[in-house]
Each structure stands twice: as C-alpha cells, then as structure tokens.
Structure 1
Amino acid sequence: MHIERLKQELEELKQEKTDLEILLETNNEHLDVVELELHREISDRLKAEVALQEVNRRLQNLSCVDSLTQIANRRQFDQAIAQEWWRMAREKQPLTLIFCDVDYFKTYNDHYGHQAGDHCLKQVAQIISATLERPGDLVARYGGEEFAVILPNTEAEGAIKVAQKIQMQLRNSQLVHAGSVISDYVTMSLGIASTIPTSDSEPVALMAKADKALYQPKTKDAIALFLQTLPTNLTP
C-alpha cells in the first residue's frame, strides 16, 4: 500500500510539473506578446513626438517668415534686433541698421497691378538677401514695401558698402517702373543708423534714427546724383 501511494504521489507530482511547464510556457508567450506591444507603443509614441516636433518647427518658421517674400517678418525682426542689441552691448561692438523703401511703390501697384507688385517685392527681397554674406546679418520685411537689414559688428562705413551693393544689384536687375518720377526702373531709398548699444538703452532709438535718415527730403540734384553714382540719401 505504501508503494502504491508513493507511485500515486509521484504521478501527481509529474502532472503538477507538466501543468507548471505548460503554464510557464503560456506565460512566456503572453509576456512576449506584451513586450512586443510595448515596443510598438513606444515606437509609435516616439514617431508621434518626432512628428509633433517637426510640426512645431514648421509653425515656428511660419510665425517668423513673411509669407510673400519668404524672408524674416516683422516679428522675427523685432526679436533679432533685441537679441543683437543686448549681444552688442555685452561685447561693446557696433550695431547698424539699414531701412530700405521701394520708391513710388503705390504708383507701381496702380500701373501694373497688385500681383505684379507682389512679384516686385519678392525680387527686391531676393536682391537684398543676396548681398548679405555673413550668417549673423538679417534682412526682414519691415512692412509693406519697406525692408530692414540688421548688421551686427558693423560700423556705418561698412553698412554704406552694403547699401551701395544693394543699390547696384537693384540697378542691374532693371525692374521696369513706368510710374516712377525719378527713374525708368525700380529704385529704393535707404537710411542708415549705427551705434554701440548700451545695457541701459533700447533699439528703438536706432530704429528712429534709421527711419529719419530714410525719409530725408531728396532734391532733384541729389536724385540725379543718386541715379548716376551712389545713393545720396545714405545717411549714417
């Protein structure tokens, strides 16, 4: 009887062992499925985060780029000039600003239409952008037909050379302007202002100075000289 009981217990133990092996194998398979699902979920989440970062980057670019000319917009200009102001103040280096305004642009629009006017602004933006060679320089559409160029680490003399280059490239492009009273082609007025920023001042004074230089009255003699040689309204 004792032997029979031991045999029975042995069979029961074998069955328990078999049951445990089956359970363990089933659990392992279940764990593999769970692990695979977790990997997939993590991968999908990472892809979603990358996609979200790309969308945010695009939105950030859109918020800082002028939709027409594809250069920096006024918001980006305001951020950039504030950044450069404090950086130049810290480094005690000059910061120069050039305002550029397309002459008689209203009559251009009236004569050729707004679609042609938009195309003209795109070309002007490309011309200005092409003259800037340093990574830190920035051209922005300031508003309407007006553009702004920020030149860090640049004194007025250097800015005048940049302005002359802009005018030369614009003159060489020969964008016809039948509505202008000073030329047969598109021209621009430019105003230059330069200063060494300080920590207790603001860039608004520099902007006001460049704006004043931009809109200084031009005499007929000055306009003639402007067309023949260099723009006389470049006032450091």
Structure 2
Amino acid sequence: MKILIVDDSEIARHSLEMLLHAIGYTDVLSCSSAHDALNLLGVFDKIVSENSPVDLVLMDVMMPEMNGIDAISHIRAVHQLKDIPIIMVSISGEVSFLERAFAAGATDFISKPINAIELSARVRAAFRLKMEMDIRKEREQQLEVLNRTLEVMCNIDNLTGIANRRCFDETLVNEWEDALRSRQPLSMLLIDIDVFKEFNDTYGHVEGDACLQQVAKALRDCVDAPGACTARFGGEEFVILLPSADQISAEKLAASIHAKIAHLQILHSVSKVENFVTVSIGVVSVVPESSAKSLDMLKAADNALYAAKQQGRNRTVIGLPILAMH
C-alpha cells in the first residue's frame, strides 16, 4: 500500500516517514506543498487515471500558499479520487477546525506530536476502509455490467439474434421524436414471409426456425444505414426503421431485400407464389408532423403490407402518407 505525506516541513516529513517505516509501511512518497501533491495525484490533468497513484494521504493542515483543507476540497472534486482515505495531521484539535476538515472530505484526524501506536491504528483503519470501498466499487461495476448485459438481452430476439419487438417499439418512439424535432424523413419497411404457415406445416418447426434465422440474417446484411433498426416484429414478420431515409432509399432497400431472399433459394414447394421463400413488404416514408403519432406510421406500413399480400405477394407496396389516413 502506497502512502503520500504532504507537509511543508522537511523535519516533519522525515519524522513521519520514519514512523511509518517502523510500523511496517515502507512504500512512502512525500510532497512539500499541497500544490505538488495535487500535481502528483493528477488533479490538474485533463484526463485523470482511474487508478489512484496512492492508497492513503497524510495531509498537514497549515501550509503556505494552499492549506490542507483546501487541498482536500480539490482532491474530492475529482471523481476518481473521491474514495482515497485522507488523514489530517495538525497540532490544532479545535472543534471548528475538525468540522471544516471533515466537511471538506477528511477521513480521519491525528494530532501532533504523533504517537506510533495511534498512527498504526489509524492507518490500518484507513486501509481497511479503502479496501471495503474498493470491494464495493468492484461490486457496483460488476452490477453495472450485469445490468447492461440484461438490458441487451431484453432487447434481442432469442431465435434470430436481431432486435425484438420491445426494442423496436422504444426505437420507433425515440426516432419519431428526433425526426419531428429535426424535420428529417423517417422510413419503415414491414416485411412478412409469404405463406409461412404452410411452410411450417410442410417442413416442420425446426426448418421453420431455420428459415426465420436465414431471413433475419439476410435483412441485417441488406441494411447498412447508420442508426437503422432491424427487428423481428412477431412470428414471421420483420420490421426495419430507417432514420433520415426518404421513400427512394426505402424502395431501393426493399428491392435489395427481395433479391437477397430470392438468392437464398429456400425451398417452399407448397407456396402459391414461387417454389422458394419470398417476402411481401409494406413501405411508408414520412417527415413527422405534430398532428400524427408514431403508431400512425406503423398502421400505414401495416396497410401497405396488407395491400402487397392482396396483390399477389412477393412485392413491395408504398403506403399512403400517414396524414392522408386521418
């Protein structure tokens, strides 16, 4: 464990260092001013290291230019240094002084002249406190990682590995609000695997799951727009949300999806459309208005998808502007 002594008196620094050596602490640094200590700790650096250079600070109170209490305030203002134990060292033991020291962030206090037994007890207590804080911090970090992992898992469809309906619903609301503020276009493609029930009935659910996985991967491979969300909407339906994309961009993507799915050549002998798996797509593009809602866009895409099915499947239909639906 590394200890930093901060005292403007060379005699006091040397004496305290000898006491620390005598009680078993040999990894000791020293600074002759509060400013030098703050520099050593990286307080003035633009980027402060996550790992503190010391494990304990013994800080004298009365020093020229900057006193120990002000130095503690600077240290505690840096997030990465807020848990370093700091023991104040001073002749003064007045209540008002102690109140100011602890209010600034001091961990403990020891009076001069320093007794070796008291110093040993207070240093051990400070290290014990730091160890407990480090354990708590590590557990908090582990919990944060776990929470992030769980959040990701909650947003992923287990079968296909792409975003799930929950993730899409949240993304739609956020992207709608962003597009409304920025007056940028927003496009949606609602995609359905044609005659999928018959596919499942003929080839079984294992092959059906494999088909869903292949289609999901094909969709993901087709989408390269920044910020786009590709999700499993439910069953054999998928949805793609394209921020800042107009109708022309959405139509080009729909065409590439049809080509990609056709290239897969997934056998579908009982399909009334082709002998391989195909998809129908409903497309809607809009610059959001405050008079409409994100769900209106979803309804428009659903209507366009329904029209694509009614017109024979394996095609894309462009939906009506959502304002025209009101």
Instruction: Determine if the TM-score, normalized by the shorter chain, exceeds 0.5.
Output: yes
Identity fraction in percent: 34
Counterpart in the other structure of 2:222:
131
Structure with the higher fraction of residues in helix conformation:
1
1:180 pairs, out of 271, 275, 289, with 271
**Cα distance, 1:133 vs structure 2:** 0.9
Letter in 2 for 1:128: L
RMSD over aligned Cα atoms: 1.7
* 1:114 alignment partner, one of 205, 209, 221: 205
Matched, 1:209 2:300: yes
Matched, 1:100 2:191: yes
- What is the aligned counterpart of 1:145 among 211, 236, 243? 236
Does residue 235 (structure 1) correspond to residue 318 (structure 2)? The answer is yes
Aligned to 2:139: 48
Question: What is the CA–CA distance in structure 2 between the aligned matches of 1:90 and 1:235, rounded to whole Å?
Answer: 25
Shift of 1:52: 0.6
* C-alpha contact (below 8 Å) 1:137/1:151 kept by paired residues: yes
Where relative contact order (Cα < 8 A, 6+ residues apart) is larger, the structure is: 1
Q: Report whether the alignment pairs 1:57 with 2:140.
A: no
Match of 1:20 in 2: none
Please give the alpha-carbon distance, in whole angstroms, between the structure 1 residues aligned to 2:292 and 2:300: 14
Deviation at 1:32, TM superposition (A): 2.7
2:282 corresponds to 1:191:
yes
CA distance in 2, matches of 1:117, 1:81: 28
Q: 2:249 maps to which residue?
A: 158
Structure number with higher strand proportion: 2
- The one-letter code sitting in structure 1 at the alignment partner of 2:269 is A
Q: 2:115 is aligned with what amino acid? A: L
The one-letter amino acid of 2:221's match is A
Which of 93, 110, 124 is equivalent to 1:33? 124
State the number of aligned residues. Answer: 205
Cα deviations across residues 163-186 of structure 1 (Å, max 9, x unaligned)?
A: 011111111111122231211211
Aligned residues of 1:98 and 1:159 also touching (Cα < 8 A) = yes
Letter in 2 for 1:123: Q
Answer whether contact 1:160 1:234 (CA < 8 A) is retained.
no
Q: Secondary structure, in 3 states, of the residue corresponding to 1:33? A: helix
1:218 deviation in Å?
4.2
Structure 1 runs of 4+ with >4 Å offset: none
Following the alignment from structure 1 to structure 2, what is the Cα–Cα distance between the partners of residues 27 and 166?
76
1:199 deviates by 2.2
Normalization by structure 2: what TM-score? 0.60
Letter in 1 for 2:249: G
**SS of match in other structure, 2:214:** helix
Asked if the contact 1:94–1:194 (Cα under 8 Å) also holds between the matched residues in 2, the reply is yes
The offset of 1:135, in angstroms, is: 2.1
Report how far residue 154 of structure 1 moved.
Answer: 1.4
Instruction: Mark the runs of 5 or more structure 2 residues left unpaired by the alignment.
Output: 1-113, 320-326
Decide whether the 8 Å contact of 1:101 with 1:190 is kept in 2. yes
Q: Which amino acid aligns with 1:94?
A: P
